[in-house]
Structure 1
Amino acid sequence: MRRLLRSLALVLVVLLAAAAALVLWGRAALRGSLPQIDGERRVAGLSAPAEVTRDRLGVPTVRAATRADLARATGFLHAQDRFFQMDLARRRAAGEVSALVGPRALALDREIRLHRFRAVARRAVGLLGAADREMVEAYTAGVNAGLQTLGASPFEYLVLRQAPAPWTPEDTVLVILSMYVTLQDTDGSYEATLATMHDVLPAAMVALLAPDGSEWDAPLVGPAFAVPPIPGPDVYDLRARRRGRPQPPPPNAQRPTLERIESKLGVGNWGLGVDDGREREAIGSNSFAVATPLTTVGGALLANDMHLSIRVPNTWYRLSIEWPDGSAPGAPNRVTGVTLPGVPAIVAGSNGHVAWGFTNTYADWSDIVLLEVDPSRPHAYRTPEGWREFERHEEVIEIAGQPPQRYDVLWTIWGPVLGPDHRGRPRAYRWVAHAADRLAAAIAPMESARTLGDGFEQANGVGAPGQNVIVVERDGRIGWTVYGSIPRRVGLDGRIPASWADGTRGWRGWLEDGEYPSVTDPPNGRLWTANARVVGGEMLAALGDGSYEIGSRAHIIRERLMARDRFSPRDLLEIQLDTRADFLARWRTLVLDTLTPEATRGNADRALFRDILEREWSGHAAPDSAAYRLTRAFRQLISDRIVAFVLVECYEADPAFDYRAVRRRDAAIWRLATEQPPHLLDQRYAAWRDMLLEAVDDTIAQAMRGRRGTLRDRVWSEYNEVAYRHPLSAAVPFIGGWLDMPRATVPGDLYTPRVHWGAIGASERMIVSPGREAEGIMQMPTGQSGHPLSPFYANSHPSWLAGDPTPFLPGPALHTLRLVP
């Protein structure tokens, strides 16, 4: 027995020694890939030394002799701090994730390979102008220098047992294309949804269920659009049509279960830093501005917070750059803001003359083209110039640990061939993301703008995902326009698919600068955008409708801006942090009206539900609010029931039909829930009240499932918890959670200015007046570095969570690195 114990002890000692050695080796490997932040480093290609200083948050200020040198230094910094993030972004757009992580990403790669984005990026690089080419090539060289001078590969490659591939100029374009994938419709799902509704439903029902606007509209120009009336039983008596027919199972739920919303970033058990497409209604932003007479700083103020799926590290990388201004010796160019690792430019920020910020437009950036084919000619389709053969491209997907897979994609003159629609019609996809000539103009717009007009000129026609851009000028002017390239549609409005074969419909190039929608110096001195419709009339016709948001955030922001006549930077930060529950307030009223004394008599759960909503409603999406959570859950469940019945014939006709693509659907659902038309009530219920009470009971049951305590303990933060994860944390046993940000409770929701929905939130908060940057505010989640041993891995996060203002400009230099030729 003693011998056995001695043997076991020896085995234990060996195992502990091996574990200790493994930890020491891992720590040494980790430390070897730490970015260099002090000292001197030789970087070939620089025309003169460049200086990189960092403040207490690790935010770099780079001073260099030329803009190309700055691009080279920026590439060096991005690679040292964020190379794995950059790698995922280029691979996501190119459909090359499987080569890094194996077959778990194969479906993701096949889906995006349809667009052949690496070929598009290669063509775009060939079209770059001389100055942009110099910048991209310098940036590429800087990235590879930064990667090569690390003592070891970034730690993620040790986990994956891979080696990082060098950066190329086309990879920078792929990173830009990755934002198209994040922010726009990759397969025409909204247009396809509308097409099915038009095919199946009477026109009046389509108008109701896909309304042009609602009472939440808050456009800069033009009126709100009313929700159409509910068609009568003479138009669509669905209850009678379905009598005696079985009710199919409910379609895909509009939201996850009510137990908890968590980050859904993964493929299998890995969080690969990609979106699954189901929460795209939450990908948006807020941006607003006030002109000089309304501010306390003596100049116009811009506020911008861009909402994205927040991962570790964050999407953006803060940076301030300086280089000589040949036209003004002694007064250098200085641009401060956020960069996108993989791209050499400041994406949003201020250059001392103008400041600019973005929100996603949700205008119409794509069209589905119905293809005319002849069964006797299966390899051809009809074009305005006659019959033409499909282009066939073999796509080879490399897969780590497995042989590559090959498959063909078909292309037309308009774009790639999609799968057939629910009627079996072949389709192609026309998307601005395929325009290489536009992408070639997307490298560094806005940095050199000196006036509002300059900013508009540089924004209009750029090859970037179409954005609302608000520009404010140092002299106090403010304006809104579109950052992107708007197609010139002829013969169609783009709402539903159509054939372009006879040449009467299609895109005829792009709008010219003078044709772009814009709003300049509004009389009230205020501008706001939040992913909802911004304009009407001819400007709206030029933009089209790619499924604008419902408008609750824009509505609240407008009301806050109109409520006072003077604003400081902190006042605008308060609006960014607003969690008012205006959007859900009417649903709370509906619950209270439903839970009458008769409905609660003898039912303690319903009585408690009513008491919580009646007594504990704070009017905010507060973490400790059970009233908010229960109201939110009730709205979800009653919406699911209404949608499942009212659109049952669309779901039956088209297995791919997904009403979630209609972002303004709440307007129609609310009208149905409150007007309660008998002919549109599911035949399983004798009255609408029965369905509403069932939704209340299900809300209670789901909230309490597997939980202790009472309904009062089912607070909003229990369901909507902050979950910001590193892409590989699930793949590293025991210590993977160390890579993630700590779980926290944060106020907000999708429908409040302070957006917080699982992993989705404000990827930055910026408030700045050009020329007065020292008074500005910048907040960012996680930290500057993607290295978990860096002091800058998570040190920006506490202030971002708390909403505490941190300076827009980098602070005093604590570290200095000289880059020399």
Structure 2
Amino acid sequence: MSRTRSAGLVALVALLVVALVATAAVVVLVRRPLPQTSGELVLAGLSGPVQVLRDDRGVPTVVADDPEDLFRAQGFVHAQDRFFQMDLRRHVTAGRLAELVGDAPEAVEADVVVRTLGWRRVAEEELPLLAPETRTYLQAYADGVNAYVDGRSPGELSAAYTALGVRGDLPPVEAWTPVDSLAWLKAMAWSLRANYDEELARAAAYGAVGDVALVEQLFPSPTAADAPPVVLGPGDTTPAAATRPADGPLPAADPEAAVAAALADPSAPVAATGRAAASVTAVLDRYAGLGAGGADGLGSNAWAVAGTHTESGAPMLAGDPHLAVSFPSTWSQVHLRCRERSAACPFDVAGFSFAGMPGVVVGRTPEVAWSLTNTGADVSDLFLERVRDGSALVAGEEVPLETRTETIEVAGADPVAITVRSSGHGPLLSDAVPALAAAGRRAPVPETAPAAGDAGYAVALRWTALTPGRSMDAVFALGAVTGWEDFREAASLLEVPGQTLVYADTTRVGYQVTGSVPVRQRGTGLGQQDGTWPRPGWDPAYDWAGTVPFEDLPSAVDPADGLVVSANQQATADGPALSQDLDQGYRAARIRAALEAQVSEGRPITVEDMAALQGDDVDPFAEVLVPALLSAPLPSGDGTTAEQRDFTREATALLRGWDGSTPPDSAAAAYYYAVWSNVLRLTFADQLPDVAQPSGGSRWYTVVGRLLEDPDSPWWDDATTPAVVETRDQVLGRALVDARLELTAKLGADPQEWQWGRLHRLTLRNQVLGTDGVPAPVRSLFTAGPVELGGSGSVVDATSWDARRGYDVVALPSLRMVVDMGDADAGRWVDVAGVSEHPWSGHRTDQLETYAEGGSFPWAFTPEGVAAAARDELTLVPRPQG
């Protein structure tokens, strides 16, 4: 079987280029899927007429008399705008990506991982657990999708099918089902899976350096003393986020965790297996359109301000979840309203939905607004399993593994059959992910561990998302909330993924942490009670002991200072951390400090102030790193000439007096981040495998901030030069020189002409047809940009980049919204791109320019405001009787 992309997408889209040489033919094929947005259409199954009003950007407001009609119409509208995205998502979540896109190795790899995890199997088990009305709404949504799809050829649904269908072996478009919608929740949970990557990186790093204490230095665990909790209590203050990373001693190894040397396997280099694992994770994130795109610090910002501090006298809320770059964008704006709101039809909810799933995930009702941030709760653990003859060792007994065979259909190639094995802890993911197999050979284990054998230990994944739950009930419950009590009741249903919901109503602000969070037994083994390291699966002392009751999860309403700030930091000052791998708190401290400053000055906070704070681009770590850089001597004894040092000083002059702001036109920001990238490379590339290499986010700010206080740390030393021991100052000086040379090649010889945005660019690419290898005439229909952006991963304007792979934006605020609970039509919102996926639609990218400039659009919510903003009106009517 061919495993090259040229045997897949490249060949087939090349045929498309030949077939569509005539411009007129391209126009016809691309315009054909554009939906009807005005007039009247019949929608089978409706009990009465439904209005679909669209504003200047094509954002729909759906108005119905009946909740089933409401969600049936939402399914119809989603299919009008985004059906290919929906179909792609269900192929990803079912492990059927190769069936759609062909014989691309990364697609087959993704399918193997998803089949091993069993996302769709779990979704199928969840459906009967849901409330009856939830199942009814899911079916109504599916019926609406199918009503749009029925009678339309693939080419009439999306131009993407026209491109893919050139092969002639495109699978038929299947009917939408409720399980297709539920399975998307598994993709969300995977993307927000907390410390899976850190746990894997710990094992890989240990395999490389063989020292637990050194590895622990790479994973500092923030406390509430390091960063402000979500709500301040008596005695809590906002920390000085810029200087705190250098505070405190370097972490030492737990004496109880002195473990045996790693099981070495010279035939399997760690770096090579690390790259294989990273590719699988990256492709899942890419096709799902939710993950961090390989960047450290996936998260979000959300905050609420009490009415005592606002211009309107009512609470305000702001939110901007951070997700991987995706095109079409991850979210789809919508307003769902019952004409007469009642117990029978309780919905008047607007905000951001997922195409393929009914309801609104982030948004507002007339009485309540909410946004969400990832709690970072550690909801997964890797378990090392001693497997022999089809059984795993558990408490001294051999327990047979569960097995099943999965067949992956591959368009244009032979099917691939795999055997999925599971222990009592979960699927043996090491069978599908090479780096996990390497971790099974190299992870530290107790001295009393049973012998692993030549292949090492198998690695199972225990993850709360693999237990069927009722999270879909929460989506509909949130869409009908009217106050704090029913908001908390709705939040209690959101088991996976766990989130921090920031709340505002007409008089109060608050927050609630949600999710199924495992309880780990207390013990002295390495990572036993905090889940930071792979765990011995043969020892029941490492098993989970239930989950944290919802009543014990952090929550607060009406804080004394009237401020709620959530940016993935630890939630409370005195409660236990939900994870040891939380965000380090730079964004949270910056947001809270800005709000506190305005409150102390007595200036009422406005919608415009909230929106401006979302675009804050100051990098707080510059206060730590820049002084160290400016005091570091430039290289002199390694052949670097005086002329080269003068050449470098032209660039370092940019950093003197720089305020840390990172707009697109900043020369100082361009140099600063180039230096930062080189500091990370020079410090860690020689000792860490690829899967553990620094991506440059907040964790690495803290790591390097602490190392700056230890100039002779072994991390500074270059392991490839055993005869020379490098120190901090040598690394910093060399980074200054190397960054100067790098930007000279990329941006020109004059540092004053450099611009951060020329490096830090956002390109929107369709996950299938906008990628490299697709011929340019086709690719151009499924890409947008590039546009130049400011910001960076650990600033409030969190436009993340991955220091391992360049400066392009890989994750970003996937939406921005601001709500004023005192004026329902004063809100603001913006999406990264637009509501439509169709290349010829005016609403495919009509929000991108405003987004890139840090702007947003008016968000009409009241019936009067929506009517005034409407530009198109489509009436959906029931099929005539008889």
TM-score (norm 1): 0.86
Contact 2:299–2:323 at 8 Å: present in 1 too?
Answer: yes
Contact 1:311–1:759 at 8 Å: present in 2 too?
Answer: no
* Aligned-partner Cα distance in 1 for 2:702–2:496: 31
1:45 is matched with: 45
2:200 aligned with 1:192 = yes
SS in 1 for 2:584: coil
The structural deviation recorded for 1:355 is 0.6
Letter in 1 for 2:770: S
* Aligned-partner Cα distance in 2 for 1:102–1:708: 42
2:299 is matched with: 284
What is the 5 A alignment of 1:39-438? 39-104=39-104, 105-148=107-150, 150=152, 152-161=156-165, 162=170, 163-184=172-193, 188-195=196-203, 204-213=213-222, 217-220=227-230, 228-230=248-250, 272=287, 274=289, 279-324=294-339, 327=342, 333-373=347-387, 375=388, 378-383=389-394, 387-419=398-430, 420=437, 421-423=440-442, 424-438=456-470
Cα gap change, 1:532/1:271 in structure 2, threshold over 3 Å: closer, same or farther? closer
Cα gap change, 1:449/1:685 in structure 2, threshold over 3 Å: closer, same or farther? same
1:552 is matched with: 586
What is the 5 A alignment of 1:620-631? 620-631=661-672
* Aligned-partner Cα distance in 2 for 1:471–1:264: 36
2:697 aligned with 1:640 = no
The structural deviation recorded for 1:52 is 0.7
**What CA deviation, in whole Å up to 9, does each residue of 1:33-73 have, x standing for no partner?**
11110122211221211111111111111111121211100
* Aligned-partner Cα distance in 1 for 2:272–2:605: 44
1:31 is matched with: 31
What is the 5 A alignment of 1:581-592? 581-592=619-630
SS in 2 for 1:359: strand
Letter in 2 for 1:606: T
Cα gap change, 1:275/1:764 in structure 2, threshold over 3 Å: closer, same or farther? closer
Contact 2:680–2:696 at 8 Å: present in 1 too?
Answer: no
Contact 2:194–2:377 at 8 Å: present in 1 too?
Answer: no
SS in 2 for 1:705: helix
The structural deviation recorded for 1:386 is 5.5
1:525 is matched with: 562
* Aligned-partner Cα distance in 1 for 2:377–2:839: 39
After the TM superposition, which of the residue ranges 72-81 and 747-756 deviates more from structure 2? 747-756
* Aligned-partner Cα distance in 2 for 1:349–1:807: 14
The structural deviation recorded for 1:801 is 2.1
* Aligned-partner Cα distance in 1 for 2:62–2:358: 12
State which of 515, 536, 551 in structure 2 corresponds to 1:484: 515
* Aligned-partner Cα distance in 1 for 2:126–2:347: 28
1:564 is matched with: 598
2:488 aligned with 1:456 = yes
Letter in 2 for 1:209: L
SS in 2 for 1:302: strand
SS in 1 for 2:497: coil
What is the 5 A alignment of 1:716-731? 716-727=756-767, 728-730=769-771, 731=774
Letter in 1 for 2:579: G
* Aligned-partner Cα distance in 1 for 2:406–2:696: 29
Cα gap change, 1:326/1:209 in structure 2, threshold over 3 Å: closer, same or farther? closer
Letter in 2 for 1:761: L
After the TM superposition, which of the residue ranges 790-799 and 300-309 deviates more from structure 2? 790-799
Contact 1:371–1:382 at 8 Å: present in 2 too?
Answer: yes
Cα gap change, 1:706/1:677 in structure 2, threshold over 3 Å: closer, same or farther? closer
* Aligned-partner Cα distance in 1 for 2:858–2:593: 27
Contact 1:584–1:632 at 8 Å: present in 2 too?
Answer: no
2:744 is matched with: 704
Contact 1:183–1:465 at 8 Å: present in 2 too?
Answer: yes
After the TM superposition, which of the residue ranges 764-773 and 598-607 deviates more from structure 2? 598-607
The structural deviation recorded for 1:266 is 8.8
CA RMSD of aligned residues (A): 3.5
SS in 2 for 1:299: coil
* Aligned-partner Cα distance in 1 for 2:494–2:395: 28
SS in 2 for 1:743: strand
* Aligned-partner Cα distance in 1 for 2:753–2:280: 25
Letter in 1 for 2:597: A
State which of 470, 473, 477 in structure 2 corresponds to 1:445: 477
Contact 1:253–1:640 at 8 Å: present in 2 too?
Answer: no
Cα gap change, 1:46/1:579 in structure 2, threshold over 3 Å: closer, same or farther? same
Contact 1:625–1:715 at 8 Å: present in 2 too?
Answer: yes
2:791 aligned with 1:772 = no
Cα gap change, 1:642/1:351 in structure 2, threshold over 3 Å: closer, same or farther? same
1:244 is matched with: none
The structural deviation recorded for 1:716 is 0.8
Segments of structure 1 that go 5 or more residues without pairing to the other structure are 1-16, 236-247, 256-262
**What CA deviation, in whole Å up to 9, does each residue of 1:117-146 have, x standing for no partner?**
111111111322211110111111111112
The structural deviation recorded for 1:676 is 0.2
State which of 651, 676, 690 in structure 1 corresponds to 2:730: 690
The structural deviation recorded for 1:360 is 1.4
Cα gap change, 1:678/1:526 in structure 2, threshold over 3 Å: closer, same or farther? closer
Letter in 2 for 1:556: R
SS in 2 for 1:395: strand
* Aligned-partner Cα distance in 2 for 1:470–1:762: 16
SS in 1 for 2:762: coil
The structural deviation recorded for 1:75 is 0.4
Contact 1:34–1:150 at 8 Å: present in 2 too?
Answer: no
After the TM superposition, which of the residue ranges 740-749 and 128-137 deviates more from structure 2? 740-749
SS in 2 for 1:142: helix
**What CA deviation, in whole Å up to 9, does each residue of 1:172-195 have, x standing for no partner?**
011121212222259x33223335
The structural deviation recorded for 1:160 is 0.4
1:673 is matched with: 708
Cα gap change, 1:520/1:635 in structure 2, threshold over 3 Å: closer, same or farther? same
SS in 2 for 1:145: helix
The structural deviation recorded for 1:807 is 1.3
2:617 is matched with: 579
* Aligned-partner Cα distance in 2 for 1:680–1:350: 48
Cα gap change, 1:596/1:25 in structure 2, threshold over 3 Å: closer, same or farther? closer
The structural deviation recorded for 1:766 is 0.7
Letter in 1 for 2:598: R
Contact 1:121–1:173 at 8 Å: present in 2 too?
Answer: yes
Contact 1:153–1:164 at 8 Å: present in 2 too?
Answer: no
After the TM superposition, which of the residue ranges 593-602 and 88-97 deviates more from structure 2? 593-602
* Aligned-partner Cα distance in 2 for 1:732–1:70: 41
Contact 2:199–2:532 at 8 Å: present in 1 too?
Answer: yes
Contact 2:227–2:589 at 8 Å: present in 1 too?
Answer: yes
* Aligned-partner Cα distance in 2 for 1:206–1:277: 23
2:776 is matched with: 733
